Amino acid sequence: MAKSYLSMSAAELQAELESVKKEYEDIKAQGLSIDMSRGKPGSDQLDISDGMLKVFDDGNFKCEAGLDVRNYGLLDGIPECKKLFADLLEVKPENVIVGGNSSLSLMFDYVSQCMYQGAGFTPWSQQGKVKFLCPCPGYDRHFAICEYFGIEMINIPMTAEGPDMDAIEEAVKDSSVKGMFCVPKYSNPQGITFSAETVKRIANLDTAADDFRIIWDNAYCVHDLTETTDELVNIFDVLPEKNKDMVIEVASTSKISYPGAGVSCLVSSVDNIKAILKRLTVQAISYDKVNMLRHVKFFKDVQGIKEHMQLHAKILKPKFDAVIDTLNSDLAGLGIAEWNEPNGGYFISLDVTGGSASRVGVLCKEAGVTLTNVGATFPYGKDPTDSNIRIAPTFPTPEVLSKAVKVLTVSVKLACLENLTR
């Protein structure tokens, strides 16, 4: 076990700084160029879905409703795709709308609808200031939606059980707090799955706003990495009558089949589905039903999706292991960093001490490794303690990844030593 930096003498720290500085310069001299900024699948992961492009070799384009999927119609999606998502998320097909290639668009469009047409009441935008609760670290694109619509974001700290429920229960007493984004399973970036207790407390929230909405972004619902899988309570199963319209769940096949060429879905109460279809009937004639049927023909059922996800896990697990192993071997015991070992999802979250995350980002960048912008995991891009770094290990090959994480750990050590010797 390495000696903690925190227990080193000034002289020891200085010697370590010189040694790490040399290590960093050597790495920098390699002239690397590695992008670890986004949660993109690698191309070997994309290949395993290519069978999907052959499913129409049979020339059969009819969906269960008897309609030719190549033509107009079926605004809420083809029945078999509604059923596939319903089975996957353990809800009923009548609560599902199948969308286009982007669950992000479903979320953006829904928030827009609430802002300007309302969530069953006066439009949010006509009720004065609108605030959202943002469990963080979280997903930068959720924060970007809030920022676009001028929604004020309130930081809610994450715990190992999910967002700090005491803070949330207190915050929702303010009727201008209209909603919250959550990634309840294998959260982005920490890989935390909300505990049963947390899900129940969220479901039973006593909100001052009658038109409070939770965007339940279940992006990683079947994205297990190991045999030890996290279990998420189905929030609709524990939703009391008074909150029946409170939850809008979304998911997609972006990290099941193809990112950007998959199929998304939205799940909510029948009343919410009706209100959304009222907009959709003006906004579109239908989403891409050929792609919906392509997915159903390829995956067949939830079991098919689960088996497919094991192929992804087989590719991803060694990458996550490479990161964790390097973090363990290089940083364990130094007292300057903490990280998670998630059972699924797309990220590893690294917290460094002493407000040095931005400096780590700069050092990595200068050594040719692009991380997710430091700060991006917090509202307004501002990490109050400048500590969180999101590691996206999925895109690089394991060999490249090992090099990249080495750059990262050396940068973490260097940034912290700079701080400690200042």
- Binds its own copies by CB under 8 A, chosen from 5, 17, 36, 41: 41
Sole binder of its own copies in the list 105, 159, 234, 402 (CB under 8 A): 105
Residue 384 CA to residue 157 CA, distance in Å, equals: 11
Q: Which two tokens stand for residue 4?
A: 């903690």
User: Is residue 141 close enough to count as binding its own copies by CB under 8 A?
Assistant: yes
Point out which span in 44-52, 339-347, 349-357, 381-389 binds its own copies (CB under 8 A).
Answer: 44-52
* Pairing of the two strands 348-352 and 337-339: antiparallel
Among residues 17, 115, 221, 235, which is the contact residue for its own copies, using CB under 8 A? 115
Distance between CA 127 and CA 124 in Å, rounded? 5
Q: C-alpha angle with apex 87: 82 to 89, nearest 5 degrees? A: 95
Contact between 53 and its own copies by CB under 8 A: the answer reads yes
Which of 71, 122, 303, 329 binds its own copies (CB under 8 A)? It is 71
Q: Which of 12, 68, 170, 325: binder of its own copies (CB under 8 A)? A: 68
Question: Which stretch, 22-30, 67-75, 309-317, 367-375, contacts its own copies (CB under 8 A)?
Answer: 67-75
Half-sphere CA count of 393, side-chain side, radius 13 A: 34
CA distance linking residue 278 with residue 119, whole number of Å = 12
| Phi, psi of 162, rounded to the nearest 5 degrees | 120, -165
d(CA 28, CA 300): 49
Structure token pair of residue 47: 């290949």
Query: Least distance to its own copies from the beta carbon of 232, Å?
Result: 24
Alpha helices in 230-351 (DSSP H): 270-283, 289-299, 302-331
Is 258 a residue that touches its own copies (CB under 8 A)?
A: yes
Segment near its own copies (CB under 8 A); pick from 170-178, 226-234, 277-285, 343-351: 277-285
When asked if residue 148 is in the footprint of its own copies (CB under 8 A), the reply is yes
Select 5 or 139, whichever has its Cβ closest to its own copies: 139
CB of 42 to its own copies, least distance (A): 9
Between CA 102 and CA 103, with CA 196 as vertex, the angle to 5 degrees is 5
Phi and psi at residue 92, in whole multiples of 5°?
A: -95, 145
Check residue 417 for interaction with its own copies (CB under 8 A).
no
- Binding string, residues 1-40; x marks residues near its own copies by CB under 8 A: -------------------------------------x-x
**Number of residues assigned to the chain:** 422
Verify binding: residue 377, its own copies, rule CB under 8 A. no
Nearest to 224 by CA among 137, 305, 117, 278: 305
Which of 13, 21, 23, 100 contacts its own copies by CB under 8 A? 100
Question: Residue 346 CB, nearest distance to its own copies (Å)?
Answer: 12
For the beta sheet containing 388-391, the strands, ordered from the edge strand earlier in sequence to the opposite edge, are 337-339, 348-352, 388-391
For its own copies, how many residues bind (rule: CB under 8 A)? Answer: 50
Taking CB under 8 A as the criterion, the residue among 21, 32, 118, 125 binding its own copies is 125
Q: Would you state the torsion angle of the CA atoms of residues 44, 226, 252, 58, taken in this order, to the nearest 10 degrees?
A: 60
Reading the block at residue 277, the tokens are 């279809």
Distances (CA, A) of 252 to 93, 221, 274, 387, 389: 15, 9, 21, 30, 25
Least separation in angstroms between CB 329 and its own copies? 31
Looking at 259, 361, 379, 393, which residue binds its own copies (CB under 8 A)? Answer: 259
Residue with tokens 């207190």: 170
Q: Which residues bind its own copies (CB under 8 A)?
A: 38, 40-41, 43, 46, 49-50, 53, 56-57, 59, 61, 68-73, 100-102, 104-105, 108-109, 112, 115-116, 125, 141, 144-145, 147-148, 258-261, 279, 281-291
